[in-house]
Amino acid sequence: MPNKPIIRSRRFFKDTGIFRIEEMDLEFANGETRVYQRLLGSPQGAVLVVPLLDDETLLLIREYTAGMDRYELGFVKGRIEPGESLPDAANRELQEEVGYAARQLEPVRTVTVAPGYLLHHTHIVLARNLYPNRLPGDEPEPIEVIPWKLDNLNSLLQRDDFTESRSIAAFYLIRELLARENYT
């Protein structure tokens, strides 16, 4: 494996309110130099929560996605606030978006999206033993909650409104985890 490039300098470029943009002057092992820009997400990262309502059903949400200018199905998600633990963030987002809290939260995997230019981590969490408990959220409109049967998961992948890569990754990871549990 080659040595990482040397970072010769970094400059703050812009703050958009959601991301900070940083420029980096890099020197590679072969002497080549380049200027890279990267987006800096929340230092704490984000959570993506897969709520398992019962042994047969998980909960999806349908919300407007400004980047795609349409409504998408996906899992509960949101940023981890400064000073907030991963389980606390997952449980808060769960209560804000679907009106349930979880007695059991299991970190499954941390993923990145577009690591070539985005410094951001999303922590996928499985939520079980749910009970009704709603917290007020910051969404501009009510989020539609969609119960989805586990025996119908393959049809979810065929939907034109289930395209977000983190939700698809979580789908496969959770399906594998639940399959292992059922066979052990």
pLDDT in tens, 6-61: 999 999 988 888 778 999 999 999 999 999 999 888 888 999 999 999 988 999 99
Tell me the residue length of the chain.
184
What are φ and ψ of residue 41, in 5° steps? -80, -165
Q: What is the pLDDT of residue 183?
A: 65
CATH number of 46-183: 3.90.79.10
| 139 vs 18: which has the higher pLDDT | 139
What rounded mean pLDDT belongs to the chain?
92
pLDDT at 184 over 70: no
| 101 vs 114: which has the higher pLDDT | 101
Q: What is the pLDDT of residue 160?
A: 95
pTM for the model: 0.91
Among 147, 143, 145, which residue's Cα sits nearest to residue 53? 147
Strands of the 46-51 sheet, one edge to the other:
76-79, 46-51, 122-132, 100-111
